Structure 1
Amino acid sequence: MASSSPVIFSDTTHFGVDNTTAEVTSSLNISDEEKNRYLSHLDDSMFPLMIPAVIYLAILMVLGIFGNILVLIVYIKKFKPSPTRVFVVCLAVFDLMTCVISIPGEILSMRYSHTFDYPTVCKMIRFNSTFSVVSSGLTLIAVAIDRYRKICRPLNKQITIRVARIMVGIAVSVSLVLTIPTVIVYGRKTVETDKEEITGFECSFDDGWRGTLFPVVYIGVLFLMFVGSLSVLVVMYILIGRTVFKHRRFKFRPAKDKKHHSSNYTTETSFKDGTENVIAFSNISSPTAPCNVSNSDNGTLGLDGSSETGCTCLNDTSAQPKTRKEDKSSNSVRSIRNNAAKPNEKSRPRALKTTLMLFIITAVFIISFLPHLILLITRFIKSDFLDSLQGAGFMLYNVFLRSFFIQSAVNCIVYSLCNERFRSEWRKLLVSCYR
């Protein structure tokens, strides 16, 4: 008859976790209770190494839930309908999903690193994480396209609210298609321990896919998609930055200067009642004819208005000989042109703040993924990388492996720093709540 006397194991795991206090029967007939007790001990022993990552995620979760709810309330209630508002609201929804579902699930999986035997919960966590990230990335591409058309092609037809919603719908649909495989490949993965007789479980690729290429192919597709999206974003914002740089270097010339006439249009941005309007000036003939680029729906552009533009010239050179009234109108047009030709020191920075804000959000999204990707690539190339980590190294690994959660929490901070109106509105909202 096999012995069932308990034995005290006194050794250390490859992560530097002491197992001295664990008692397991030295027999092949180990009871489930003894297995669960040993695995629970491993959970408790491993958790101190996870505490920095847990604290980091808990801070992001609280900040993200509070901040994204604030973004939704302020932008929906206080800002006028516009393509930018559509994008910002959708990004806030994706980030809120991450903070409410994915981050708590990630903390749960770290706390029960050897006893996470909940395949359905694992599938839900991984699905939500992947869906939120992919949807945010595709939405940021739509944002880049919108800013490119506004900055680099101001006289062309702009993205309307309806088109912005369609673009977000396409982003969500593509994300769903790419995310559905997570429900298939993720689940319960067997985790080996220092005792051959005992194995635990973690939330990762399901054991059913062990030895197959499908998980590797799936991760490769997501990686290639990230690289492709990154390339598109970089190219778009380089073009935007070049246009902004040229615009800032442009100096308006007096109307009497006839040496430099061009058929090109230059643009000047003006603001009225918090909305952004673009005025295009043509140097085809003298005097210059200003064209008001306005929306066919509500005549606004940018953060607080829609973007579909038309160009209405205020001075028609093909008209009949001028009457006295036309002379007065011409004088008023010249006055408008001369006033607009003087750069407004306040309007230019305000016109670029929306683009700067969305660019920073895109940059944060990209940068937050770099540590995560670097660690995944390192772990793939060096198979013993994880086994070589101990103590502080293992703590830092768990923090940086989850670096991509940063973008779900800091967007609200970016809005506050770059958008004075948003900052003012959420302050008013908080003051009203305390009263």
Structure 2
Amino acid sequence: MDNLSLHERHDVYLRRYDNEFALQVLAAILFLVVLMLTGLLGNTLVFYVYAFKFKHSTTRCYILALAVFDLISCVISIPVEITDMRFNYTFGQYGFCKIMRVFVTFSSMSSGAVLVAVAVDRYKKICRPFKGQTTPFVAKVAIMICSLASFILSLPAAILYGSRTVPTDDVNVNGSDCSTADEYIKTPYPLIYNSVQFFVFISSTLSLVVLYSLIWRQVVRQQTFRRSFSAEPNRKRPLKIVVTQRDQTSETNNTSDDFLSSSTEADANKASKDTKSPRNSRTAIELTVNPKLEEGGCCSATTSKSAKLSAGTKSKGPHNMTKSSSTSSPRQKGQKTTFMLFLITLVFVLSFLPHLGLMATRAANKHVFDDLRGTAMTAYNLFLRSYFINSASNPIIYSFCNEHFRRELYRLWRKLKCRV
């Protein structure tokens, strides 16, 4: 020991502190190791199955993007955090500390941004099914925009983060942690950056809550309507018939055993050929479904100059309407997919709350966590990295919610088993 240089003595002294700290936070390190291995295996399987076994769609694009960001977390971000806890007193002295913080911030923010795009896509599919929908190309563009915006917002981490001095019992020896750099720790910039991140998180969370609330309301309305319709199939349902003639408009009520579907217009056009006459060439009939039924998932149909009525005559009976199949397999699959994506979003938001809470507290009081020891130190380091739960949980959610995904995993397992 006496033959060691001053620099080597410092290294030996700090390594002892590294070992002591690592023992204190061993539970947090092991937890991150489990998340890393689970997420690495799970997201690799997700990427393989969705890339090669699923048809091209917007949902496939978004899930592949989430799998890539989660893999970045499992391959780069989590190992960096484990190394930071293992060498808490020496890791900050290495130059790649800044670059690693950018990767950690980028992967997390990109996942959140893509989940907002997913919520918008599900809202359009469930609540606006007859308007323009997101195509796979538009989904890829949205993913690129989310990635670029997240990268730009992550760049300040390369400046603000770096070597932070960690005191030891020896006043002549200080450690170096990879955290907010010493030159910025007493400036308002870390607080501003954390405030921007917190604002982005709150804005995204509120957007997700609003969108999924609207989706949930629409799904409940559709289910309520389908139950009421199947329970009383012979109940008369009012249709509003507006007869427009050359010089007057009269409004009457009629009833029909069925409700309008997408084939109504074609049926009305066919009927108009049989009843067409020069007398009533300017007479039109407009059929609309009761607004309550329309909210329940039925689309209203309007036939203009398609179902002709003879002037001065009455309709002999209700028109033949084709019943739409409101309960269909694609609809059920769409609702299951929506529920799966909602669970992914919920886990993402909940996993970020402990981290943001600690960051906000530390930004308000920079030294509030400096004197933690034992279990408190372990809990602090665990909750500070709580957002990594999201990277490992997504494949588990896919397995529980997607039967096709489970089936492909089982086939893959059988192939591997047969080869062995």
TM-score tier by shorter-chain length is 0.7 to 0.9
Asked if 1:321 corresponds to 2:293, the answer is no
- Structure 2 segments unaligned to the other structure (5+ residues): 242-252, 277-318
TM-score for both structures, normalised by structure 1: 0.76
Asked whether the equivalents of residues 289 and 313 of structure 1 are also in contact (C-alpha less than 8 Å), the reply is no
Amino acid at match of 2:238: H
Q: 1:405 aligns with which of 385, 388, 408?
A: 388
Per-residue Cα deviation, 1:404-431 (whole angstroms, up to 9, x for no partner): 0000111000001000010110111122
- Counterpart position of 2:300: none
Q: How does 1:196-275 map to 2 (within 5 A)?
A: 196-250=171-225, 251-252=228-229, 257-261=235-239
Asked whether the equivalents of residues 92 and 179 of structure 2 are also in contact (C-alpha less than 8 Å), the reply is no
Asked whether the equivalents of residues 290 and 314 of structure 1 are also in contact (C-alpha less than 8 Å), the reply is no
Per-residue Cα deviation, 1:224-250 (whole angstroms, up to 9, x for no partner): 111111111111111111111111211
CA distance 1:388–1:260, change in 2 (3 Å):
farther
Report how many aligned residue pairs link the two structures: 360
- Counterpart position of 2:352: 369
CA distance 1:389–1:334, change in 2 (3 Å):
farther
Q: How does 1:135-214 map to 2 (within 5 A)?
A: 135-214=110-189
Asked whether the equivalents of residues 61 and 99 of structure 1 are also in contact (C-alpha less than 8 Å), the reply is yes
- Residue 189 of structure 1: CA displacement? 1.7
Amino acid at match of 2:104: S
TM-score for both structures, normalised by structure 2: 0.79
Q: 2:334 aligns with which of 335, 348, 351?
A: 351
Question: What secondary structure is seen at the aligned counterpart in 2 of 1:155?
Answer: coil
- Alpha-carbon distance in 1 for matches of 2:143, 2:211: 18
CA distance 1:285–1:105, change in 2 (3 Å):
farther
- Alpha-carbon distance in 2 for matches of 1:119, 1:221: 27
Amino acid at match of 1:252: F
- Counterpart position of 1:297: none
Question: What secondary structure is seen at the aligned counterpart in 2 of 1:204?
Answer: strand
Asked whether the equivalents of residues 289 and 315 of structure 1 are also in contact (C-alpha less than 8 Å), the reply is no
* CA RMSD across the alignment: 2.8
- Counterpart position of 1:31: 6
- Residue 185 of structure 1: CA displacement? 1.7
- Counterpart position of 1:391: 374
Amino acid at match of 1:418: C
- Alpha-carbon distance in 2 for matches of 1:239, 1:141: 14
- Counterpart position of 1:290: 261
- Residue 158 of structure 1: CA displacement? 0.9
Q: Radius of gyration: which is bigger?
A: 2
CA distance 1:377–1:73, change in 2 (3 Å):
same
CA distance 1:386–1:81, change in 2 (3 Å):
same
- Counterpart position of 2:405: 422
Per-residue Cα deviation, 1:225-276 (whole angstroms, up to 9, x for no partner): 111111111111111111111112112276764453369xxxxxxxxxxxxx
- Counterpart position of 2:287: none
- Residue 316 of structure 1: CA displacement? 3.4
Amino acid at match of 1:227: I
Asked whether the equivalents of residues 141 and 233 of structure 1 are also in contact (C-alpha less than 8 Å), the reply is yes
CA distance 1:259–1:430, change in 2 (3 Å):
closer
- Structure 1 segments unaligned to the other structure (5+ residues): 7-24, 264-282, 293-311, 324-332
Asked whether the equivalents of residues 238 and 255 of structure 2 are also in contact (C-alpha less than 8 Å), the reply is no
Question: What secondary structure is seen at the aligned counterpart in 1 of 2:68?
Answer: helix
- Alpha-carbon distance in 2 for matches of 1:78, 1:100: 24
Per-residue Cα deviation, 1:120-167 (whole angstroms, up to 9, x for no partner): 321222111111111111100100000001111111111111111111
Amino acid at match of 2:415: S
- Residue 313 of structure 1: CA displacement? 4.9
